[in-house]
């Protein structure tokens, strides 16, 4: 079946603009995660959902970042008033079980965000 998809794959924006990044998880997967990866580093956790409920947003860097998953499937990560330091690869992952530490997370291809 289809894997995790993300759109857009590449986004170039000007400083101060808002951006919305979309993630479509594997069908039937309960948990959805967002990570951010800087060049030369491993991904860092941002937030995650079980169904439509946001379980943990401790990794969101500041209040310009928000995420939602209103119907328990597709999720949107929104960054308001973008800054150059927001430039990174944003990765989404999904897993079958609800917040299980042993469950495999399946990653999408990522969205490369560049803020000019």
Partner 1 sequence: GDSVTQMEGPVTLSEEAFLTINCTYTATGYPSLFWYVQYPGEGLQLLLKATKADDKGSNKGFEATYRKETTSFHLEKGSVQVSDSAVYFCAVTGANSKLTFGKGITLSVRP
Give min distance, CB of 43 to partner 1, in A: 5
Specify the residue, 59 or 80, whose C-beta has the smaller distance to partner 1.
59
Q: How far is the CB of 94 from partner 1 (least distance, A)?
A: 12
CB nearer to partner 1: give 82 or 88. 88
Question: Closest Cα partner for 82 from 62, 68, 97?
Answer: 62
For partner 1, which is the closer residue by CB, 42 or 70?
Answer: 42
In the complex, the smallest distance separating the C-beta of residue 77 from partner 1, rounded to whole angstroms, is 15
Q: Which positions touch partner 1 (CB under 8 A)?
A: 31, 33, 35, 40-45, 48, 56, 59, 91, 93, 95, 99-110
Strand spans (E) along 29-86: 31-37, 44-50, 53-56, 65-68, 75-79
Nearer to partner 1, 35 or 65 (CB): 35
Measured in whole angstroms, how far is the alpha carbon of residue 52 from the centre of its chain? Answer: 14
Helix, strand, coil fractions of the chain, as percent rounded to 5: 5, 45, 50
Whether residue 9 is preceded by a cis peptide bond, meaning omega within 30 degrees of 0, is no
């Amino acid at each position: 079946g289809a894997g995790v998809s993300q759109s857009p794959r590449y986004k170039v924006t000007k400083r101060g603009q808002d951006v919305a990044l979309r993630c479509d998880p594997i069908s039937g997967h309960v948990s959805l995660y967002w990570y951010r990866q800087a060049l030369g580093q491993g991904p860092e956790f941002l937030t995650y959902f079980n169904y439509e409920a946001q379980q943990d947003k401790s990794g969101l860097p500041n209040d310009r970042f928000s995420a939602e998953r209103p119907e328990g499937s597709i999720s949107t990560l929104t960054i308001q008033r973008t800054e150059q330091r927001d430039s990174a690869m944003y990765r989404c992952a999904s897993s079958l079980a609800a917040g299980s530490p042993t469950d495999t997370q399946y990653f999408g291809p990522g969205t490369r965000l560049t803020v000019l």
